[in-house]
Amino acid sequence: MPATVCMESRRVQLAVCWLALLLIYLLGDVLRLYEKGREVAVIDGRPMSQLQLLLAALFMLVPILMALGMVFLPQGVARWAGLICSAALFIINIFGVAGYTGLFDRVLIALSLLLNLFIGVWTWLW
């Protein structure tokens, strides 16, 4: 198989992995809405501020932008961006694990951490 075909299929595979990661995050958020109802946007008994909501939105944008980046950025740029973003999201989620109490949350966060590791390794090998 020519190298360009392998390179292009890797781009698509990584883009799909980033979108799968986004869907795991979204699934957790949707299930949390059902579990907590109106209390979902409350941290330490107070409603989330606009800054906290903005940071959450930016966090969710990372996998979307990385999926696009895997397809449209030059390989070198996409590779380094993928490695950096995968590591950053992994670290952020590791520190956030303690805040998740539901079984579904813990399963989804574990899956997202595994997928993050896979994305990092798959990107490194690209």
What residues does each domain of the chain span?
3-124
> Strand, helix or coil at 79?
helix
pLDDT (0 to 100) of residue 109: 92
> Strand, helix or coil at 7?
helix
- Tokens for 28, please give them: 């957790």
Phi first, then psi: give them for residue 74, nearest 5 degrees: -60, 150
Q: What percent of the chain has pLDDT over 90?
A: 61
Q: What is the mean pLDDT of the chain?
A: 88
pTM score of the predicted model: 0.83
- Tokens for 84, please give them: 């950096």
Residue 1 has pLDDT above 60, yes or no: no
Residue 15 has pLDDT above 90, yes or no: yes
Give ∠ CA 40-112-54 in degrees, rounded to 5.
45
- Tokens for 4, please give them: 């360009």
- Render pLDDT for 59-116 as a digit per residue (tens, 0 to 9): 999 999 999 999 999 999 999 999 999 999 999 999 888 878 888 889 999 999 999 9
pLDDT (0 to 100) of residue 33: 74
pLDDT (0 to 100) of residue 82: 97
pLDDT (0 to 100) of residue 56: 87
Least confident of 15-19, 33-37, 90-94: 33-37
Q: At what angle do helices 103-124 and 3-36 cross, to 10 degrees?
A: 160
Say how far apart CA 112 and CA 93 lie, in whole Å.
8
Buried/exposed 70-82: b ≥16 CB within 10 Å, e otherwise? beebeeeebbebb
